[in-house]
């Protein structure tokens, strides 16, 4: 064979290999990017998506152009189904769960800006923690996965080919890490909820030296003994980022719901026992005031879902919980109730409190009264607390 013939043959062989790899990556579609056919036993299960979500989710958002999105950390990514009727107005809006595991407040704001630029957004749900919510430092630096992305990488990359092959091999012994609409499954259905609760609660207790010197009491103390009577808005919190998000939402006509990440009542009770209740509600009061100042004509609402009821205080020890995977990560069944509260619909979830300035103090008192009533009618709650967290020390 001549040198020219050898070269031509080699190039044709390489071209065929690249074409075959591209075809396999497109057909397997391990990250749901191409939205091709899903074949049981071949590519219907996509366990590799979560590892590359920061690269692929933004591109899916730009391609699908949803009108309603969920933003936040893994708590929001696990807890909300984008197909929910309250979120989508009964299917009238396309929706996507655009939350990311490990996303901090800086990154959430960057993702909101990206969504505003990439879609014709009409509705957004954003999870927050009660505390400082400053402006982001450098979105360009935080979004390198977006700026460095090109669809050709998903067809020609050897790394993607490896993920495609692993996706095929794991069909019979794995499960998808996410749903097609972006919801993260995390540890749903995985045994060990008791131990996860214990780990989270112990870690929370270790963060506060006052907590480590305490023990779970034999019976629940009344709220009057462990919580402040009145709540005043926190001063000195940097809420400039929150103000910016609200202003952008108003300028674009985006209906915005801010929700404070809920916690299981065992976690809430631990905070009360450790004297951490006042700071949380003071931050809520400050955030509610900013919402009212920036959106005086409505369109932006702040909701809180901590409480003592059959959902937030679902029994854990020795049970298979429906609503919780650990004290912070709630399941989409609870998320559906939260969306029903925030956007209306039937039936309403009945879990949340809309936080309005001037009413946070009353809502705090209602929360404490709910606690006292619930614990009086559920004496097993503290047995559950001791079973999950035998002692704080």
pLDDT digits (tens, 9 = 90+) for 83-127: 999 999 999 999 999 999 999 999 999 999 999 999 999 999 999
pLDDT of residue 190: 87
- pLDDT 10s digits, 161-192: 889 989 999 898 878 999 999 999 999 988 88
- What pLDDT is stored for residue 182 in this prediction? 96
Q: Which residue has the tokens 């990250």?
A: 31
pLDDT for 16: 75
In our burial notation (b when 16+ CB lie closer than 10 A, e otherwise), range 186-217 reads beeeeeebbebbbebbbebbeebeebeebebe
Q: Cα dist. 377→181, 266, 372, 380 in Å?
A: 40, 16, 9, 9
pLDDT at residue 167 in the model: 92
From residue 147, give the alpha-carbon distance in Å to each of 37, 54, 139, 257, 367.
Answer: 28, 11, 11, 28, 45
pLDDT (0 to 100) of residue 391 = 61
pLDDT for the residue 294: 97
Report the distance separating Cα 208 and Cα 202, nearest Å. Answer: 10
Residue 138: the pLDDT is: 85
The pLDDT value recorded for residue 3 is 66
Q: What order do you get walking across the sheet with 95-97 strand by strand?
A: 95-97, 68-71, 123-128, 255-260, 300-304, 353-354
CA distances from 69 to 35, 40, 237 (A): 19, 29, 27
- Measured CA to CA, the distance from residue 154 to residue 36 in angstroms comes to 13
Whole-number Å distance between alpha carbons of 111 and 109:
5
Gyration radius (Cα) of the chain, Å: 24
Question: Tokens in use for 20?
Answer: 């075959």
Residue ranges, the chain, pLDDT below 50: 393
- Residue 1 pLDDT: 61
The domain locations on the chain are 21-169, 193-388
């Amino acid at each position: 064979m001549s040198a020219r013939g050898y070269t031509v043959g080699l190039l044709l062989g390489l071209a065929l290999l690249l074409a075959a790899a591209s075809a396999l990556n497109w057909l397997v579609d391990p990250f749901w990017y191409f939205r091709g056919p899903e074949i049981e036993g071949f590519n219907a299960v996509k366990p590799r998506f979560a590892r590359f979500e920061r690269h692929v989710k933004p591109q899916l958002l730009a391609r699908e152009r949803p009108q309603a999105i969920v933003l936040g950390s893994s708590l929001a990514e696990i807890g909300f189904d984008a197909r929910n009727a309250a979120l989508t107005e009964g299917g009238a809006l396309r929706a996507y769960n655009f939350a990311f595991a490990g996303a901090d407040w800086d990154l959430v704001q960057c993702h909101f800006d990206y969504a505003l630029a990439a879609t014709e957004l009409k509705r957004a749900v954003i999870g927050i923690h009660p505390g400082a919510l400053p402006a982001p430092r450098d979105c360009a630096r935080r979004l390198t996965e977006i700026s460095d992305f090109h669809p050709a990488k998903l067809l020609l990359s050897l790394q993607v080919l490896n993920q495609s092959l692993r996706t095929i091999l794991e069909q019979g012994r794995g499960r998808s890490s996410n749903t097609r609409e972006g919801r993260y499954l995390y540890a749903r259905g995985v045994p060990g909820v008791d131990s996860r609760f214990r780990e989270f609660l112990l870690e929370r207790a270790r963060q506060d030296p006052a907590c480590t010197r305490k023990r779970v009491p034999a019976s629940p103390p009344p709220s009057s003994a462990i919580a402040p009577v009145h709540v005043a808005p926190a001063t000195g919190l940097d809420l400039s980022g929150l103000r910016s998000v609200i202003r952008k939402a108003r300028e674009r006509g985006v209906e915005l719901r801010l929700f404070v990440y809920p916690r299981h009542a065992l976690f809430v009770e631990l905070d009360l026992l450790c004297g951490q209740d006042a700071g949380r509600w003071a931050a809520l009061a400050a955030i509610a005031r900013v919402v009212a100042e920036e959106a005086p004509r409505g369109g932006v609402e702040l909701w809180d879902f901590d409480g003592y009821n059959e959902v937030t205080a679902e029994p854990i020890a020795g049970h298979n919980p429906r609503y919780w995977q650990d004290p912070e990560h709630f399941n989409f069944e609870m998320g559906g109730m939260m969306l029903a509260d925030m956007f209306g619909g039937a039936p309403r979830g009945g879990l949340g409190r809309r936080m309005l300035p001037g009413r946070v103090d009353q809502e705090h008192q209602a929360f404490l009264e709910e606690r006292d009533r619930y614990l009086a009618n559920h004496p097993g709650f503290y047995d559950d607390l001791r079973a999950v967290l035998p002692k704080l020390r």
